[in-house]
Structure 1
Amino acid sequence: MRRSVLAAAAVPAALLLGGCGDGGGDVVVVESTAAAEAGAASQAVLRDAEGAEVGTVQFSEVSAGTEVVAEVEGLDPGFYGLHVHGTGLCEPDSSAPGDPGTTGDFLSTGGHLGGDAADHPDHTGDLPSVYVTQDGLGFLTTVTDRFRVEDLVADEDGSAVMLHSGPDNFANVPERYAPAGPDRTTLRTGDAGARQACGVVE
């Protein structure tokens, strides 16, 4: 992976703001970033079904929750759904947990983190989509308070990050298109398409 300009975002906010004054005023830190904190951190390396690396996703503790930094490359332009799934097992052409008759790429990761406790987009592992530019590069930085870093690695079967083949609609289907509301597939997945790349959180 090429190093991105996101490295600049890891500079503590106090350092960035300190260079803007004339030396006579106090510096106010609005929010420190992951690099400025001594909290827990984890990472997932995203690989496609052929095993090629397409990106990384880093998780770091910040005061507001968990900072998620995703970087991908070599993809077609457009939006890609990004979710945390409940089982840390990224196997191509695998069976879905509890449903051995259903097979496909990375079905071994099971459903979204948080299971069936909520519908999309309120699963614990639902995240904003990643936008990939015409150069094939995508960058996303966001903060969620739905899980902590330790939640991703503390349970016995771990967790995984999934990059989907299409945009996530977050189950936002207006009544003029679906008077009865979004169907079960949309509520479960956000219609983000196939599981394109997967990485175990370590």
Structure 2
Amino acid sequence: MVGKARLALLVVLGVGVVALSAAALGEMMPARDGAPVGAVIKNTKGQTVGSLQVENAGNGKSKITVGVKNLPTGYHGFHVHTKGVCDPQATDPATGSPFFSAGGHFDLGSHLHDHHSGDLPNLLVGADGTGTASVVTDRFRVEQLFDSDGSAIMIHAMADNHANIPDRYRNAEGEEGPDAETLNAGDSGGRIACGVITRS
């Protein structure tokens, strides 16, 4: 009888230690207040073309999972942007690209592309217009997406070159290496879909 009681006590203590360890590490836990974090991604016509989920992955990392449909085939630049406003009517005065309301790439410092905190790998969309991806990053924590003006997820028209321009190429000024647009956004082109990141 004593043996069973001792075993039961050890099991309870073990469960408590495991629970404490998971909480301390933040392993796959929701955002701080427990609410799921994500976004509904819409195109310029206001049609839903995908969804995003963001969660704590432990050790200061965040896991981003995205699924999209009805998008052009190929690789697309995929970034967190600095403002949680997705207005397709707000266009970039220089390029005419929609969703200018979302600002530039989310960044916790003063980095060039592709070292912005919100820079993510390209999103591959198949011939059927669908794509899924999952990535873990240590460049931001979930809670940091909810600053005073929020944040958004953005899908661009073209692939992001991640500022990978060999010196044999020339910029508009005839100089070697990447030009200002490459250093800013990786030549990923116009913004075709956007989603405000929220706690649901």
TM-score, normalising length from structure 2?
A: 0.76
2:148 is paired with a residue whose SS is coil
Structure 2 residue 117 is matched with structure 1 residue 121: no
- What is the aligned partner in structure 1 of residue 153 from structure 2? 161
- What is the aligned partner in structure 2 of residue 132 from structure 1? 125
Aligned residues of 1:55 and 1:72 also touching (Cα < 8 A): yes
Counterpart Cα distance in 2 of 1:169 and 1:115: 21
Which runs of no fewer than 5 residues in structure 2 stay unpaired?
1-26
RMSD: 1.9
Q: 1:107 to 1:116 in 2, by over 3 A?
A: farther
What displacement does 1:74 show?
A: 1.1
1:158-197 equivalent positions in 2, closer than 5 A: 158-178=150-170, 180-197=176-193
Counterpart Cα distance in 2 of 1:167 and 1:184: 17
Counterpart Cα distance in 1 of 2:124 and 2:134: 11
Which residue of 181, 192, 198 maps to 2:194?
198
What displacement does 1:71 show?
A: 0.5
Letter of the 2:163 partner, please give it: A
What displacement does 1:104 show?
A: 4.0
Counterpart Cα distance in 2 of 1:94 and 1:82: 19
Percent identity at matched positions?
43
1:1-202 equivalent positions in 2, closer than 5 A: 37-40=28-31, 41-64=36-59, 65-94=61-90, 104-114=97-107, 117-153=110-146, 155-178=147-170, 180-202=176-198
Aligned residues of 2:169 and 2:176 also touching (Cα < 8 A): no
Aligned residues of 2:97 and 2:190 also touching (Cα < 8 A): no
- What is the aligned partner in structure 2 of residue 7 from structure 1? none
Size of the aligned set, in residue pairs, is 163
TM-score, normalising length from structure 1?
A: 0.75
1:186 is paired with a residue whose SS is helix
What displacement does 1:102 show?
A: 7.7
Q: Please say which structure displays the higher CA radius of gyration.
A: 2
Counterpart Cα distance in 2 of 1:145 and 1:176: 32
Counterpart Cα distance in 1 of 2:195 and 2:55: 16
What displacement does 1:114 show?
A: 1.0
